[in-house]
Amino acid sequence: MTYLSARQQTSHLVELSSGIDALYVSGWGELSPHILAELARAKEAARSSGEPARLDFEAVTGLVKAGGLNRYPYCLLFPEGRIGVTDSERLPPVHLQPNAAFLHAVGPQQALAHFIGIANAFLANSRWTASRLDVFSDWQGWMPVAEDRYRFVGRATRRNTHEDTEVLTGFEFGRRKTKTITARLYDKSRDSKAKGTDWWPDVWGPKYDPSSSVLRVEFEFGRLGLRQYGIDTAQEALDRAPSLWHTATKDWLTFRSPTSDETRSRWPWAPEWEQIHRPSFAAEAVGLDRIQEGHAAGSLRLLLPQLNGYVASAAVHLGTSSIDETLEALPPYLRDYELISRKPFTERVRAKREELGL
C-alpha cells in the first residue's frame, strides 16, 4: 500500500461513520429475590447440560450461562446483548451490555431504553449510571504507519504498537485497567474481516470503498474517566458523547506535523487530525434485518474453513469423495448420535439459534 503525505491525503479523507460503539450501564435499585432464585436454577441447569439454559421470568425471556459476566455471577444472554446480575453489596445489582450490532441497528437511545425495559422487570426503583462509553469515527484516505508513532502527542504515558507480519494494524494509548480513558487507532476493515462482522459495510454506506482500508479512531471512557468529565447517568453519557469526542481529540490525544521545534506539543496539528477532530456524529440506525444478514454472512465465512475440514475428514472415514456423496452418507451417523446423546438434532439447532439470537 502506498502512503501519501499528510497534505496530499487530507483532500481524500472521507468520513464513513461516527458515533457510539459501546455503552455499558450499571443499574441501582431493589433487586427481586425471585429473579435470583430463577437465575440460580437456570445456572445449575446450564452447568448440567453444558449449554445456556432458558429463563422465563415475568416478561423476560433469555438464556443463562453456566459462568458469569466479569464480577457478576449471573449472566443473562439476549440477541441484543448481555445482562449481569448479582446480590453483592459491593456492586450495582444489574449491569447492562448492549452489543455493538444492536447499538448500530437501532441507535444508542433505543438500545438503552430496550435494556432498561428488560431489567426493570426485576429491578425496582432503578437508577442507571454509565460505566463505559466508546465513541468512534471511521475514515478512508489515511492509514498511519509505524513511523508515525512519534507524531502522536497526548496525555497517556503508555502506548502500544500492534503489528501482524510486519504490517502495522494499530496503535493503543493508555491502559484500560485504569478505567479512565484509552484511545485506539486501527484498521477496522481488517478487524471486521477477522471477526466476521460483515455488517459494517451497511453502517458505512455508499461512501465505503471496498478496495481501501478503513481507519477506526476510538476513545473508550471508563467509569472513572466519565466521572472526570462530570458524567454520571447513562443519559448524560449519550447526550455528551460529541463533546467528549471533541475534548479527547483536542486535549487527550493529537496527531502533529513535525517542525524544527524540539517540543512536540508545539507542533501544529496534522491536516488529518483537523478533520478527525470534527466528525459529524450523525450515524443513523441501520436496521436489524441488515445487521443480521451481515452477521450471518460473516459467521458462515469464518465457519466454512472448519466445516470443510470436518466434512473432508468424515469423507475419508466414510469412503466417499464428493461433497454430495459425503452429505448423503452422514445422516445415519448423526441419527445414531441423537440416540446416544439423547438430544435431537432439531433441539441442538434450536438452542444454537437462541444462543446466537437468530
For 193-209, the pLDDT digits (tens) are 888 888 889 899 999 99
Mean pLDDT of 99-106: 93
Q: What pLDDT score was predicted for residue 165?
A: 78
Q: What pLDDT score was predicted for residue 286?
A: 63
Q: What is the mean pLDDT of the chain?
A: 89
Residue 234: C-alpha distances to residues 54, 113, 132, 240, 346 (Å): 29, 10, 9, 10, 41
Q: Pick from 245, 251, 246: which is nearest to 221 by CA? A: 245
The pLDDT of residue 11 is above 60? no
346 confidence band (pLDDT: 50, 70, 90): confident
Q: What pLDDT score was predicted for residue 114?
A: 96
End-to-end CA distance of the chain: 38
Q: What is the dihedral of CA 230, 175, 152, 157, to 10 degrees?
A: 100
| pLDDT tens-digit map of 136-194 | 999 999 999 989 999 999 999 898 988 887 788 899 999 999 999 999 999 999 999 88
358 confidence band (pLDDT: 50, 70, 90): low
Residue with more model confidence, 95 or 321: 95
Cα–Cα distance between 196 and 304 in angstroms, integer?
12
The pLDDT of residue 93 is above 60? yes
Q: What pLDDT score was predicted for residue 336?
A: 83
| pLDDT tens-digit map of 273-311 | 999 999 998 777 666 666 566 667 767 776 778 888 888
Q: What pLDDT score was predicted for residue 298?
A: 65
> Which of 104-113, 116-125, 239-248, 348-357 shows the lowest per-residue confidence on average (mean pLDDT)?
348-357
- Percentage above 90 pLDDT, the chain: 65
Amino acid letter, 350: R
Residue with more model confidence, 1 or 120: 120
- Percentage above 70 pLDDT, the chain: 91
Which range scores top for mean pLDDT: 27-31, 202-206, 332-336?
Answer: 27-31
Cα–Cα distance between 232 and 128 in angstroms, integer?
9
Mean pLDDT of 103-131: 95
How many other C-beta atoms lie within 10 A of the C-beta of residue 321? 10
The pLDDT of residue 35 is above 90? yes
Cell triple for residue 172?
493503543
The pLDDT of residue 6 is above 60? no
115 confidence band (pLDDT: 50, 70, 90): very high
Q: What pLDDT score was predicted for residue 92?
A: 97
> Which of 24-28, 94-98, 201-205, 310-314 shows the lowest per-residue confidence on average (mean pLDDT)?
310-314
For residues 202 and 291, the answer to whether their CB atoms sit within 8 Å is yes
86 in helix, strand or coil? coil
294 DSSP 8-state letter:
H
What is the layout of strands, in order, in the sheet containing 181-187?
Answer: 53-57, 60-64, 74-78, 81-85, 94-98, 14-31, 123-140, 215-222, 181-187, 167-173, 159-164
What's the whole-model pTM score?
0.84
Residue with more model confidence, 51 or 6: 51
Residue with more model confidence, 335 or 257: 257
7 confidence band (pLDDT: 50, 70, 90): very low
Residue with more model confidence, 336 or 248: 248
8 confidence band (pLDDT: 50, 70, 90): very low
